[in-house]
Amino acid sequence: MKLKYYILALMSVVLLSSLKTTNDTHPDHLIKGTWELESFYYYDNNEISDTLPTTDGYRQIKMYTTDKVMWTRYVPKDSVEWFGYGNYKVADDMLIETLEYGSESMMSAIDTLRIFTFELQISENAYSQISVDDEGNRISSENYRRIE
């Protein structure tokens, strides 16, 4: 009889210790890591109307830590440098990036718009940041895959 209770107690301890105390599937946990842009979607009436893959040699990488974001873009046929750095947060299926500084070309954009807000769709190995208009209609998205 004592053996049954011992086994039951041991199984309970093993089961409870295997449960995670944080929710690793929550978007703010999922986005941590390094991502590469794969494609763009364009929307019409909130439905995807066109998909464009990145061109050969084009690379855009985004890296997210606990609360920082950094991104860089390389376009082989363009001498303009693009990179940015700042803070981000995920709230209510929205990705909000507040850029602090960037390349010269990005600083021109930051002077007029510093906070970038996107609708966020995310899974373990892919995410889309979707631009919406003032009425909440989807315009376009950048679609990333996890590379680390």
Q: pLDDT band at residue 111, thresholds of 50, 70 and 90? A: confident
pLDDT given for residue 36 in this prediction: 98
Convert 102-115 to b/e letters by CB count within 10 Å (16 or more is b).
bbeebeeebeeeee
Burial class (CB in 10 A: 0-12, 13-18, 19+), 141: buried
Could you tell me the pTM of the whole model? Answer: 0.79
pLDDT given for residue 79 in this prediction: 84
Q: pLDDT band at residue 6, thresholds of 50, 70 and 90? A: low
pLDDT given for residue 16 in this prediction: 47
Checking if the pLDDT of 100 tops 90, the result is yes
Checking if the pLDDT of 1 tops 60, the result is no
Lowest mean per-residue pLDDT among 21-25, 82-86, 143-147: 21-25
The predicted model gives 7-19 an average pLDDT of 50
pLDDT tens sequence across 62-75: 999 999 999 999 99
pLDDT given for residue 110 in this prediction: 87
pLDDT given for residue 131 in this prediction: 98
pLDDT tens sequence across 29-47: 899 999 999 999 999 999 9
Residues 21 and 29: their CA atoms lie apart, in Å, by 13
User: Which value, to the nearest 10 degrees, does the dihedral of the CA atoms of residues 48, 49, 54, 56 take?
Assistant: 150
